[in-house]
Amino acid sequence: MGSEASNMLTVIGLDEAGFGPLLGPLCTGAASLSLEFDPGEGPPDLWSQLAPVVGTSPRTCDIPVTDSKKLKSSSKLPLRNLLAGLVPFVEIATNTEITNDEDLLRAIGVDDLGPFESESVNLERLDGLDQGQRSLRRAKLNRIASENGIQIELVRAKATHPRCLNELFDALGNKSSANTTLLFGLLREVLSLDMHRESPRVVVDRQGGLMRYQPLLLSKFHGGTISTVAETPEISRYRIEREQKILHIGFETQADARHLPVALASMAAKTVRELLMNRLNTFFAQKQPGLKPTAGYVQDGRRWVAEIGDLPERLQIPRRDLIRDR
CATH number of the domain within which 93 lies: 3.30.420.10
Residue 126 lies in a domain: yes
Assess whether pLDDT exceeds 80 at residue 196.
no
Q: Which residue has the higher pLDDT, 44 or 28?
A: 28
| SS3 track for 69-87 | HHCCCCCCCCCHHHHHHHH
Residue 230 lies in a domain: no
Domains identified in the chain, total number:
1
Q: Classify 91 as helix, strand or coil.
A: helix
Residue 240 lies in a domain: no
State the pLDDT at residue 6: 54
Please choose, from the candidates 263, 204, 259, 268, the residue with its C-alpha nearest in 3D space to the C-alpha of residue 46: 259
- Most distant CA pair in the chain: distance in Å? 65
Model confidence pLDDT, tens digit, residues 148-180: 999 999 999 999 999 999 999 999 988 989 999
Model confidence pLDDT, tens digit, residues 81-102: 999 999 999 999 999 999 999 9
Confidence of residue 241 (pLDDT cuts 50, 70, 90): very high
% of the chain surpassing 90 pLDDT: 83
State the pLDDT at residue 201: 95
- Structural domain including 48 reads 3-206+253-321
Please, where are the H alpha helices in the chain? 3-6, 46-50, 80-94, 101-107, 124-127, 131-147, 162-172, 175-192, 214-220, 255-258, 260-287, 298-308, 311-314
Residue 316 lies in a domain: yes
Query: How much is the average pLDDT of 190-215?
Result: 85
Residue 237 lies in a domain: no
Residue 234 lies in a domain: no
What average pLDDT is seen over the chain?
A: 93
- pTM of the complete model: 0.95
Assess whether pLDDT exceeds 60 at residue 309.
yes
Confidence of residue 230 (pLDDT cuts 50, 70, 90): very high
Q: Cis link prior to 88 (omega < 30° from 0)? A: no
